[in-house]
Amino acid sequence: MSSNPALTVPDYVVAMVILALPVGIGIWYAVKDAHRATRDEYLLGGRRMGLVPVALSIFITFQSAISQIGLPAEVFSYGFIYILNSLGIAMSFLLIYFTVVPLMYPLHITSIYEYLKLRYKSETVRLVSTVVGMLANICYMAIALLSPALALQASAGLPLWLTIAVFGGVGTIYTAIGGIKSVIWTDVFQTLVVFAGTFTIIIKACSVVGGLSEVWDLAQIGGRTDFNRFTPDPTVRHSVWGLLVGHTFIWLVNGFNQSTLQRISSMKSLREAKMAFLLLIPCILVYSTLFCVTGLVVFAYFSLQDCDPFELAPYFVLHAMTDLPGMTGLYVSILCCGALSTLSSGINSLAANTVEDILRRPLRSMSEGSITLLTKLFVLVYGGIILSLAYLAKAMKGPITQMANTVFGACGSPIMGIFLMGAAVPWANKHGALRL
C-alpha cells in the first residue's frame, strides 16, 4: 500500500459538522426540558416519542461502526453470501414484534431487568442479570468505539487515542446533557448520514472501478458470488443455514437489551412500539445491501492487490476518491455516526440500570431532580470507562465482527434464556433462572 494520505480542509469541515450537530441537539434538549428534570423525562422522553424517530434510533443503535467496517470486510474475504445475515436479522425483528414488545410494553417499566424481579420474585436474579448485561454492554461499546479508530489509524494515519477521545467525548457529552431525546434525534440524523453517505460512496466507487456490472464480473471471477453453501457443518464460517439461523438468534438477544426497552417504553402506544420493529425490516435489508455491495466494489478494486480486509473500505475511500473534495470526510462521518449512536445509547442505558436496578433502594429518599442529576453523572462516568477500555482493547486480535458476536453469544444468550424461560415456562422459578 502507498503512504497514508492527509485529510484535506473539506474533509475536516464535513467531519466537524457531523460531530458538532449532536452536541447542539443535546444542548437544545437540555435547555428545552430544564423544567422537567425527572427520570421519566431523561430516560424515556416522557413516554411521548414518535414512531419513526424511535424506529430509526433502534436501528442505528445496533448498526455500529463494527458492521460498517466488518460487512465489507466479510464480503471481501468470504463472499456476497454474507448478505443473507440481513434475512436472519429481519426474522429476529419479527420475533421481537410478536413476543418481546407485547410482553414488555404493558408493564411500563424503565429497566428491562425489572421484569425479572416481577416474574421470578427475586432481587438476586435481577441483580445478577443486570451486572452481566452491563458488563456485556460495556465490552461491546468498547469494541464499537475501537473499530473505527483502528481503521482510521491504519488507513489515514489518525492517532488512535485522538479518534477514541473525540468520538467518545462527543458521544458522552451530548448524551449526558440531553438525555434520551437528544440520543434519539441524533440517531435519526446519523441514520440519514449513514444511508446517504454510503449510497454516495457506492456511486462514486462504481465509477472508479468501471460500473456495477464490472464489479459483479470481477466478483464472480474471484469466487465471491457463490451462494451454494447449504452445509449444516457448524465449522464452516458462512453457510446459508448458519447466516439465517445464527443471526436470527444473535439479534434476538437485542430484544432483551436495556437500550431496546427504553425505546419501547418511550413510545405512546403498544401499536406504535410494535410497528417500530416492522419498520426496521426494510432498514436492515437496505443497510446490509449497501455495505455488502461496498465489499464487492472494494474487492473489484483490490482484486490484484494485497490488503488487510479490516482496512480495505477506509483505505479505498481515502486513496481512490481523493478527486472529490469532502468524500473522505464523509466516510469518516459515517464511521463517526456508527460509533456515536452505539455509545450514546449504551451509556444512557448503563446509567438507567445503575439508578433503577443497583441503587434503587439507597436512592428512595432522594428527589427526582437529584436522581436525574446523578444519572447524568453516571453517564459521564461510564463514558470515561468505555473510552479507557477502548484504548486498552487495541491489544485484542481477530476480526471485529467476530469479537462483537462473541460478546453477544457469551453474555447475551444466558440472559435471553432467563427472559424466555420466564415468559414461556409458567413453573420456572428463581433457582432455575440462576442456574442458567
Closest CA relative to residue 91, chosen from 239, 247, 258: 247
Is residue 379 in some structural domain? yes
Q: Which residues of 365-389 are buried (b: 16+ CB within 10 A; e: fewer)?
A: eeeeeebbebbbebbbbbbeebbeb
Cell matching residue 334:
459515517
pLDDT score at 310 = 61
- Higher-confidence position of 392 and 327: 392
Q: What is the pLDDT of residue 113?
A: 95
Q: 3-class secondary structure for 148-214?
A: HHHHHHHHHCCCHHHHHHHHHHHHHHHHHHHHHHHHHHHHHHHHHHHHHHHHHHHHHHHHHHCCHHH
Per the domain annotation, does 121 fall within a domain?
yes
- 434475512: which residue's cell? 87
Cα–Cα distance between 227 and 230 in angstroms, integer?
A: 8
Q: What is the total count of domains within the chain? A: 1
pLDDT for 436 equals 66
d(CA 167, CA 97): 32
SS3 category, 49: strand
Residue 298 lies in a domain: yes
Fill in the amino acid letter for 133.
G
pLDDT, tens only, 4-42: 566 778 888 888 888 888 889 888 988 887 777 788 899
The confidence score (pLDDT) of residue 360 equals 87
Residue 112 lies in a domain: yes
Residue 389: inside a domain: yes
Which of 296, 288, 282 has its CA nearest to residue 210? Answer: 296
Helices (H), 266-326: 270-301, 309-320
Considering the domain boundaries, does residue 161 fall inside one? yes
Indicate if the pLDDT at residue 283 is higher than 70: yes
pLDDT tops 80 at residue 345:
yes
Closest CA to 391 of 162, 176, 152, 140: 162
Per-position b or e across 86-103, b if 16+ CB within 10 A of its CB: bbbbbbbbeebbebbbeb
Domain span at residue 359 reads: 59-435
CA distance 119 to 113: 10
Q: Is residue 220 part of a domain?
A: yes
**Residue pair 371/164 in contact by the 8 Å Cβ criterion:** no
Give dist(CA 300, CA 75) in Å, integer: 11
In a domain, 16, yes or no: no
pLDDT tens-digit readout, 182-191? 999 999 999 9
**Which range is most confident: 196-205, 264-273, 315-324, 330-339?**
264-273
Spatial separation of the C-alpha atoms in residues 399 and 377, rounded to whole Å: 34
**Rounded Cα gap, residues 288 and 148, in angstroms:** 18
CA angle (38 as vertex; 37, 43 as ends), nearest 5: 110
CATH number of the domain to which 203 belongs: 1.20.1730.10
CA-closest candidate to residue 423, choices 12, 20, 96, 28:
96
